[in-house]
Structure 1
Amino acid sequence: MAGTTLDAPAALKVPDGNRLTGVFSAAGVQTYACTDGVWKLLEPAATLWAKNDRSHRPVALDSRGPVWVSTVDGSAVNAAAIANSPKTGTIPELLLQSTATRGTGVFAGVSYLQRLNTHGGVAPTTACTGTDQISVRYSATYAFYKPAK
């Protein structure tokens, strides 16, 4: 896996000079809050596990920021979306660029992430009122990249 790439839409290709260092499956929710009668994304909350781990042992959490934090070594990466690829009936696939990392573990030095193979997580199309919130289940594959040495 390390050094290879995943199939992704052209808009989500990671720039040359980066290598794949981890692929994780994720499941969780996209939480939306009512803002002026419209559902707006408030935050994600997901658990990640190694892509081929049948036991789904949690190895990281994704939360507001967005930030991914390793539950194994405490390292973390914050990132911002720089490109998206819409998919009908599900949240878009994304290319994210790291804005900060901390720690010396699995997420140390991460430069880019991809959110791929998304399922679910779409905001309701119904109107909302007041301070309503709703959480919508989603799943995805997250790929993490670091600069090639």
Structure 2
Amino acid sequence: MTTQNATQFFDLHTSGIGYINRVRLVEPKKGEPFWACSIAALRGDTNNVEYTYFDVRVSGTEAARLIARCQQAVDAGSKMLISFKIGDIYPDVFTYSSGDRKGETGVSLKGRLLLIRWIKKDGEMIYQMPKADDANGAPADAAGSPGANAA
């Protein structure tokens, strides 16, 4: 009788809408380069919006392609609003090294950007994920090239 030792884990996903900023390609000394960005997620009353900031590593293949295509627009000052799914968020404590808050302790929320459902550039829809095959939000044709018109 054979038993399989399947890896088990718990998923923690956060979904929302927010503006992307600081799009960058991180090239570590060891390991493969990866895309990263910050997201100013909207929350609260639509008449008095508040923001929660996330610093994310882009993990999803399609999300990485889309973020890379948005870099130029973000750098040019366009407002890039996305519907997103972030996984495995955690707090990262740090000490400010410069500025008005030098020496003070700060907290950054980190995570992995897994999925982008849609992108709006300056209010205009430029990408929309294809209809989902399942309830998890996976694209119906992950091998296809949805969003060829993104950014």
TM-score (norm 1): 0.30
Of structures 1 and 2, the one with the larger relative CO (CA 8 A, separation 6+) is 1
Which structure has the larger Rg over C-alpha atoms?
2
User: Which has a greater percent of strand?
Assistant: 1
User: Which has a greater percent of helix?
Assistant: 2
